[in-house]
Amino acid sequence: MMTVEITTIGRRTGRPRRIETWRYRADGRYWLTGSPGTRDWYANLVAHPEFTLHLEDRDLPARGRAVTDPDERARVFGEIVPALDWAGSLESWIEGSPLVEIQLDEVL
């Protein structure tokens, strides 16, 4: 897990919204997620998939792909959750956590 800042476009206001969330590498790709519950950043990315990924040395334009397929969610969270000793049940993450694949033109 790595804490990362992203800037999304507000789904209601259309204004930039910068927040901190978690980035993971699983299944050979990068993901944004958080503990189970609703998240404004997730709703913003569903409405406006383009966002900015803020890294220590640069900012990267990115696109988010919301993951809703239960099998894909189970596969990705199956890699992420066991590494978190505080995470709770895998099922609660599969059912209730936001999950977004980070799509970049530039390699991290």
Number of H-type helices and E-type strands within the chain:
3, 6
pLDDT score recorded for residue 65: 98
Q: What is the pTM of this model?
A: 0.88
The domains of the chain, with CATH numbers, are: 2-104 (2.30.110.10)
* pLDDT tens string 13-49: 999 999 999 999 998 899 999 888 899 999 999 999 9
Buried b (16+ CB within 10 A) or exposed e, 89-105: eeeebbeebbbbbbeee
**β-pair partners for 59:** 54
pLDDT score recorded for residue 36: 86
User: If you average pLDDT over residues 77-90, what whole number do you get?
Assistant: 81
User: If you average pLDDT over residues 52-77, what whole number do you get?
Assistant: 95
d(CA 80, CA 90): 9
* Residue 48 dihedral angles phi and psi, to the nearest 5°: -135, 90
Average pLDDT, the chain: 91
